[in-house]
Chains A and B, each alone.
Chain A
Amino acid sequence: MAARRRTLLKVIILGDSGVGKTSLMNQYVHKKFSNQYKATIGADFFTKEVQFEDRIFTLQTWDTARQERFQSSGVAFYRGADCCVLVYDVNNMKSFDNLNNWRDQFLIQILTISFCSLGNKVDVDEGESRAVSEKKARAWCASKGNIPYFETSAKEVFNVEDWRGRRDVSSCLWHESITPTLLLHRYLPDTIDVAGGSQQRSTGCEC
């Protein structure tokens, strides 16, 4: 059974307050968008199962309050993270500039990690109010060790290929953004089962 080959992945979602982290998570996990999210206080937790090749991964995602004053409290959540998703708002230059800080702050705590970066809210004003160009964002990502980059809108998720050729969050982007981490784990033993004390499995398919 594929379901028995489960692996936990801990994902941390970071970015300035108000760039849409909670919206992205809700879109990804619950396929819902709302204009009525509250500012995150403390930490939110989402979990989702994804299948990749023959394995089921449980993604544990932490979305923490991101106002400056809360930053020290968020650090405790970084421990044991496998993947860090950096989010900024393409209409807000400062949120893009701050990606550096978020990345650095994270790297102080965690050594081996895969990053990916999302430019959110590309739907706003049909792109008229855009402050950060895709080119600029890609250049930054390339300079930081080729961080995979995607443009998203937590709001506009319909018509996958329709929206100026961009794809929607839930079906594509997240999957792809987490793929590098998934790939890393392809060659690792099942981390969960080891803790449970079960024997190493044969490589044969159990389906």
Chain B
Amino acid sequence: MNIDETGIGCVKNSSSSASSGRNGIYLPGIEERRIRKWRKMIGVGGSDWKHYVRRKPLVVKRRIRKGIPDCLRGLVWQLISGSRDLLLMNPGVYEQLVIYETSASELDIIRDISRTFPTHVFFQQRHGPGQRSLYNVLKAYSVYDRDVGYVQGMGFLAGLLLLYMSEEDAFWLLVALLKGAVHSPMEGLYQVGLPLVQKYLSQFEQLVKEKFPKLGEHFSEEMVNPSMYASQWFITVFSYSFPFPLALRIWDVFLYEGVKVVFQVGLALLGYCHDELIKLPFEKLVPALKNFPEDAMNPDVLLPMAFSIKVSRRLLELEEEHKKRNQGMLQQSTSSAKQKR
């Protein structure tokens, strides 16, 4: 996997060398115009953003789906996730968490630091700036919410953010996601019993059956369920094992539209490989669901497919069903978790 390339303008696929990835090489005119449009939309330091979004939400949505220009990505992510507001409301808090507090998770975090994007230049160097920032953000979060603490998977979220923003900004974006500044909170992905992972997987399984009945049936026959392949899609929002150009484009949409896009992309992947997958026996099926072919990883192919799959309403209905089914169990697990505290 390689470096901070962006996918915009240079959809040349993942195998380009580490230091390429500068934008605007291809079709510079169009790219420049795009960036100008975006700058106008954002205003100086983000001053016009909220106004613009309120006036033209559909334009914003469309432009984000086409990909945020790489040079503006860090800023726009902070604006659309609501993390910028959190940062402004909490001056000095991050520093306090990093410098003065100690965390029970420190050893766990250290153990995983070198195992987070280990091939990426930014994180490769032992005790280098990348690893140090990653450690600080994760430690700060584990202190900020001691109940959740540090859980494997968070490092991939934080790591991806750190490629585009400072430690403090990345921290508040993590807070915005897990605590739900704009969309529903994600912390359930990391709480005891992983309740949100369970919910997403059960919704996903049902959607597969409905959108791709034959494949759904094949999965049942081979006894393959989403916990075998899709947990990491949800836990790390595709940042764990997907090529960066694709992961970044998914994150653009994810931060603006919410977790729905994770379902859509997952379904699009299955749809794209449908005819292959349906032929495979268990031993080949599971690995195939973890290593999709390179042509499926092209954001300009996969994302339009993903957006064409409608899931919003069904997701809500399935959420209700899941809630009803699990109400008793959930109550039990939360009450026992509270006792533990």
Contact = CB atoms under 8 A, between A and B. Distances in A.
A72 B232 CA distance: 16
A41 B240 contact: yes
Nearest to B286: A45
Nearest to B153: A41
Given A45-B228, A45-B286, A47-B287, A39 B112 contact: yes
A39 to B, nearest CB: 4
Nearest to A76: B227
A199 interface: no
Given A36-B119, A73-B197, A41 B108 contact: no
Given A38-B118, A42-B231, A43-B231, A70 B152 contact: yes
A162 to B, nearest CB: 28
A58 B191 CA distance: 36
Given A18-B111, A47-B283, A73 B231 contact: yes
B115 interface: yes
B192 interface: yes
Interface residues of A, number: 23
A124 B160 CA distance: 31
Given A42-B227, A45-B290, A69-B190, A58 B283 contact: yes
Contacts of B290: 44-45
A37 B115 contact: yes
A159 interface: no
Contact of B152 (A37, A43, A65, A76): A65
Interface in B206-245: 227-232, 235-236, 240-241
A26 interface: no
A60 interface: yes
A41 B231 CA distance: 8
Interface residues of B, number: 35
A128 B226 CA distance: 43
Nearest to B223: A80
B235 A73 contact: no
**Secondary structure of the B side of the interface?**
loop
A112 to B, nearest CB: 20
A41 B232 contact: yes
A73 to B, nearest CB: 6
A17 B111 contact: yes
A146 B13 CA distance: 53
Contacts of B111: 17-18
Interface in B257-315: 282-283, 286-287, 290
Contacts of B229: 42
A77 to B, nearest CB: 8
B287 A41 contact: no
B116 interface: yes
A67 interface: yes
A37 B117 CA distance: 9
Contacts of B287: 45, 47
Nearest to B239: A41
B194 interface: yes
B156 interface: yes
B155 interface: yes
Given A17-B108, A41-B236, 16 more contacts: A18-B111, A18-B112, A37-B118, A38-B115, A42-B229, A42-B231, A45-B228, A45-B290, A47-B287, A58-B283, A65-B152, A67-B152, A69-B151, A69-B191, A70-B152, A73-B227
21 contacts: A17-B108, A17-B152, A35-B118, A38-B116, A38-B117, A41-B156, A42-B232, A43-B228, A43-B231, A45-B228, A45-B287, A47-B287, A67-B108, A67-B152, A69-B151, A69-B152, A69-B191, A69-B194, A70-B152, A72-B192, A72-B193
Interface of A: 17-18, 35-45, 47, 58, 60, 65, 67, 69-70, 72-73, 76
Interface of B: 108, 111-112, 115-119, 151-153, 155-156, 190-194, 197-198, 227-232, 235-236, 240-241, 282-283, 286-287, 290
